Amino acid sequence: MTRPDLFNLTGKRALVTGASRGLGREFALTLARAGADVAITSRTLDALADTRADIEQLGRRCFPVALDVRSESSISTAIETIDRDFGALDILINNAGCNIRKPALEVTWEDWNTILDTNLRGVFFVAQAVARRMIARQTAGRIVNIGSVTSVAGYAGLAPYGASRGGVRQLTMSLAADWGPHGITVNCLAPGWFKTAQNAVMYEDAAWVSYLTDKIPLRRPGRTGDLDGALLFLSSDASAYVTGQTLLVDGGITVNDTRALPRKS
């Protein structure tokens, strides 16, 4: 028997970090369309104005908060504010991230720290702050860490980024084991090659896009909306017995040999 309510998020409260643009913005809107009220974060409140307006246009409540995931005090303050003024969270989409694309020999100490502090340490401590409150309230929550195809495949020019995303994949499994007894599922949604603000310059090279597309069995990079179903699955009751998993949404690129993808400087 079909249960249409499995993906219905009406009455749920979600948090999406890094929601001012790109995939994070799309994630926030997807949850709102499914009925959730959504707290959204970025390093500056002004950057969240458009996302907030679009969520409220859908008839959902939106709560913007400034959050820098590289700062312990910022995480603590933001999650406390959300808990107090928005309400107890049912869903966390741990999306905030960054990248500095360089050949491995050119990566600096600062580059490494910026990427790992944002993409791995930040993911852990945001999840910890949210899970602590879920456990205290005995909430059967959903945590979705946003990873990447680089967690399972190597690409030139992405050494620190790939290391951070590989760490997120392993972290997801560990947190699932830690928090499963409390009814919290922790999964990783790993997109393949999507055009975002971080990598838009790469898509200006038609030859590179053609070469990339040839490596993808579905013969195209990801489009807006391609992640919606997977996100709703991992955020809803539809995935109640799924935890510690990495769900690749990559057009099938990981079934091919990806080592030959060219470096784009």
The pLDDT score that the predictor gives to residue 202 is: 64
| pLDDT value of residue 184 | 98
pLDDT of the residue at 260: 47
Q: Which DSSP helix (H) or strand (E) runs through 77?
A: helix 72-85
Residues noted as catalytic: 161
Q: What is the pLDDT of residue 206?
A: 79
Instruction: Name the DSSP letter for residue 97.
Output: -
The span from the CA of 24 to the CA of 34, in Å, is: 16
Question: 31: number of CA atoms within 13 Å, CB side?
Answer: 32
HSE-CB at 58 with a 13 A cutoff on CA atoms is: 20
DSSP string for 9-59: -TT-EEEESS-SSHHHHHHHHHHHHTT-EEEEEESSSGGGHHHHHHHHHTT
What pLDDT is recorded for position 1?
45
At residue 215, the pLDDT reads 87
Rounded CA separation 202/11 (Å): 40
Helix (H, G, I), strand (E, B) or coil at 63: strand
What CATH superfamily classification does 4-255 receive? NAD(P)-binding Rossmann-like Domain (3.40.50.720)
CB contact at 8 A, 92 and 135: no
Each residue's pLDDT, cut to its tens digit, for the chain (265 residues) gives: 457 688 999 999 999 999 999 999 999 999 999 999 999 999 999 999 999 999 999 999 999 999 999 999 999 999 999 999 999 999 999 999 999 989 999 999 999 999 999 999 999 999 999 999 999 999 899 999 999 998 888 888 889 999 999 999 999 999 999 999 999 999 999 999 887 766 666 666 777 778 888 889 998 888 889 999 999 999 999 999 999 999 999 999 888 755 545 555 4
Q: Which residues contact 173 (CB under 8 A, 6 or more apart)?
A: 244
